[in-house]
């Protein structure tokens, strides 16, 4: 019996030893995995940092894309500006099997002798075309035009020397430049003719909506919802502010006018513009808080802020209102489909 008891004790000691060894092995394995994970994370961070160093910032993104589209062999650069899913969308939008093929399709559409002109475009409204909000940004490559330079010999064809590239959603990488993570082609380029109606249907831009009465739809609309308050503020600060009404549906324009006791949208916009005390500051508020509504983003342009050096100062103009956005059929971006005064 004594021998049996001794064996039992010995078995328990051996078992305990195995547990300790197993535990030690697990600890070593865990430490190894943690070390490997830290190394992998560091490598990923270093890779992101390196990628971010070579990517352009939003104000140069479209310039780099145009230059590379116009240059033979520029496919690698153009496609390197987009992540994998965006490259696939870009290729499909231009009827190509892959991103390099789409770039070649676009290059073939540049008019002969106008490659240098194609690169030197200008934005119609730079502030609304390039919108940056922290690590996110949008660049509207549809809202551009071309003007001949003094040394340009080739005339600019109607509609431009080549294709407008589209609307890009950007995301900052590694604290540096920006990568395209979303893409929409331009809906209809000037000179390309009217949108084609589907068989038995109506033109996309004339299609009715169950949510709001349609005014004529601008083909190019702002695409970054949090920056919509800033877009309207910029328009209100410019001239008499009536161009802000171009971004309202008919229903929203009426609601805007009624909310401000005006005869129409333009009169309401002019009244708001008249309350601006510093147009330069007013057109640059911070991005507005945005939530998702039934039709699209809802932008709280009742709490716009205008940071100033030296601490808080009085607002340079009025708050705008609560903006319910939606994308009209046949258009790119958002317009204001519903409005409530602050």
- Mapping DSSP onto H, E and C, the string for the chain reads CHHHHHHHHHHHHHHHHHHHHHHHHHHHHHHHHHHHHHHHHHHHHHHHHHHHHHCCCHHHHHHHHHHHHHCCCCHHHHHHCECHHHHHHHHHHCCCCCHHHHHHHHHHCCCCCCHHHHHCEEECCHHHHEEEECCEEEEECCCEEECCCCCCCCCCCCCCCCCCCCEEEEEECCCCCEEEEEEECCCCCCCCCCCCCCCCCCCHHHCCCCCCCCCCCCCECCCCHHHHHHHHHHHHHCCCCHHHHHHECHHHHHHHHHHCCCCCHHHHHHHHHCCCCCHHHHCCCCCCEEEECCCCEEEEECCCCCCCCCCCCCCCCCCCEEEEEECCCCCECCEEEEEECC
Confidence of residue 127 (pLDDT cuts 50, 70, 90): confident
Write down the pLDDT at residue 43: 47
pLDDT score for 6: 47
- Verify that 332 and 226 share a domain, yes or no: yes
Residue 276 maps to a domain? yes
In a domain, 13, yes or no: no
In a domain, 311, yes or no: yes
The predicted pLDDT at position 309 comes to: 62
Please compute Rg for the chain using Cα positions: 28
- Domain hosting residue 222, numbered range: 207-340
pTM for the whole structure: 0.47
Dump pLDDT digits (tens) for 107-122: 999 988 888 888 888 8
Domains of the chain: total: 2
Q: What is the mean pLDDT of residues 205-230?
A: 57
Same domain, 168 and 233: no
pLDDT at 149 over 50: yes
d(CA 204, CA 233): 29
Q: What is the pLDDT of residue 310?
A: 60
Question: Which range has the top average pLDDT, 47-56, 107-116, 213-222, 261-270?
Answer: 261-270
Q: Where residue 124 falls among pLDDT bands split at 50, 70, 90?
A: confident
Give the pLDDT mean for 305-324: 82
Same structural domain, 180 and 213: no
Same domain, yes or no, for 171 and 233? no
Q: Classify residue 7: in a domain, yes or no.
A: no
Higher pLDDT among residues 151 and 268, named by residue: 268
pLDDT at residue 76 above 80? yes
Q: Are 165 and 219 within one domain?
A: no
Lowest mean pLDDT among 96-105, 196-205, 264-273, 332-341: 196-205
Higher per-residue pLDDT: 2 or 251 = 251
Q: Identify whether residues 79 and 169 lie together within a single domain.
A: yes
Residues 69, 142 share a domain: yes
| 225 and 179 within one domain | no
For residue 150, pLDDT beyond 60: no
- Claim to verify: residue 123 and residue 179 sit in the same structural domain: yes
Are 62 and 172 part of one and the same domain? yes
Task: For residue 192, tell me if it sits in a domain.
Answer: no
8, pLDDT greater than 50: no
The verdict on residue 223 lying in a domain is yes
Reported confidence tier of residue 148, pLDDT bands at 50, 70, 90:
low
In a domain, 3, yes or no: no
Residues 67 and 172 in one domain: yes
Contacts of 105 (CB under 8 A, 6+ apart): 94, 95, 96
Question: Which has the higher per-residue pLDDT, 203 or 86?
Answer: 86
Query: What percent of the chain lies above the pLDDT cut of 90?
Result: 30
Mean pLDDT of the chain: 75
Q: Are residues 225 and 180 in the same domain?
A: no
Tell me whether residue 136 is in a domain. yes
Give pLDDT, residue 174. Answer: 76
Beta strands 130-133 and 167-172: pairing type?
Answer: unpaired
Listed range (20-24, 89-93, 299-303) with the worst mean pLDDT: 20-24
Pick the range with the lowest mean pLDDT from 41-50, 261-270, 327-336. Answer: 41-50
């Amino acid at each position: 019996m004594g021998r049996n008891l001794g064996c039992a004790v010995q078995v328990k000691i051996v078992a305990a030893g195995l547990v300790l060894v197993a535990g030690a092995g697990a600890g070593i394995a865990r430490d190894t995995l943690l070390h490997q994970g830290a190394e992998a994370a560091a490598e990923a961070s270093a890779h992101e940092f390196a990628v971010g160093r070579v990517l352009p910032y939003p104000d140069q993104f479209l310039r780099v894309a145009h230059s590379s589209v116009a240059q033979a062999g520029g496919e690698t650069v153009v496609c390197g500006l987009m992540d994998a899913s965006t490259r696939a969308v870009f290729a499909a939008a231009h009827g190509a099997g892959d991103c390099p093929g789409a770039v070649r399709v676009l290059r073939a559409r540049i008019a002969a002798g106008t490659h240098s002109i194609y690169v030197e475009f200008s934005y119609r409204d730079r502030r609304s075309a390039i919108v940056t909000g922290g690590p996110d940004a949008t660049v509207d490559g549809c809202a551009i035009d071309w003007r001949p330079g003094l040394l340009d010999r080739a005339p600019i064809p109607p509609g431009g020397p080549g294709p407008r590239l589209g609307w890009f959603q950007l995301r900052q990488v590694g604290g540096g430049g920006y990568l395209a993570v979303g893409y929409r082609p331009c809906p209809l380029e000037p000179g390309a003719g009217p949108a084609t109606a589907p068989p038995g249907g109506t033109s996309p831009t004339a299609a009715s909506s169950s949510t709001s009465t349609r005014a004529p739809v601008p083909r190019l609309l702002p695409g970054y919802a949090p920056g919509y308050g800033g877009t309207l503020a910029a328009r209100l600060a410019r001239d008499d502010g009536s161009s802000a009404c171009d971004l309202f549906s008919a229903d929203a324009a009426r609601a805007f006018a009624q909310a401000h006791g005006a005869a129409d949208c333009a009169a309401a916009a002019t009244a708001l513009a008249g309350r601006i005390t510093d147009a330069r500051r007013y057109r640059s508020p911070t991005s507005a808080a945005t939530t998702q509504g039934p039709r699209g983003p809802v932008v709280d342009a009742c709490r716009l802020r205008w940071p100033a050096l030296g601490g808080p100062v009085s607002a340079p103009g009025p708050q705008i209102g609560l903006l319910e956005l939606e994308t009209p059929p046949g258009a790119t971006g958002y317009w204001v489909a519903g409005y409530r005064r602050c």
